[in-house]
Amino acid sequence: MGAGLALLLGGCLLIYLASPNQRWRARPLAGMPGRTAGALLLALALYQLQHGMQGVAAVFTWSLGVMLALTLLPFLSALFHVYRGR
């Protein structure tokens, strides 16, 4: 289950870093390859989670994790820039 969560976070991070509005890097990752790699990691995460728990619980955990990660990444970026600016 830990590997599934790590894959989920990695996939969300790649999708976020491929966005033109991301603030972690000076330039975003290449759009299509970054998003494709992120989507593949998310699919692998769901597959991994289904081996560790029942199907419905795995889908719920996966969708909740994706929502949480994609919501928190922009805020973590803003928080990082606020503290780095001091």
Q: How far apart are CA 57 and CA 45, in angstroms?
A: 13
Every domain of the chain and the residues it spans: 2-85
Cβ–Cβ contacts within 10 Å for residue 62, how many?
A: 22
Mean pLDDT calculated for residue range 24-36: 86
| pLDDT per residue as tens digits for the range 31-82 | 789 999 999 999 999 999 999 999 999 999 999 999 999 999 989 888 887 8
- Residue 1: is its pLDDT beyond 90? no
Question: What is the full DSSP assignment across 19-68?
Answer: STT--SSSSPPPHHHHHHHHHHHHHHHHHHHHHHS-HHHHHHHHHHHHHH
Mean pLDDT calculated for residue range 15-21: 90
Question: What distances in angstroms separate CA 6 from CA 31, 49, 55, 65, 71, one per listed residue?
Answer: 22, 11, 18, 10, 17
Stated pTM of the model: 0.87
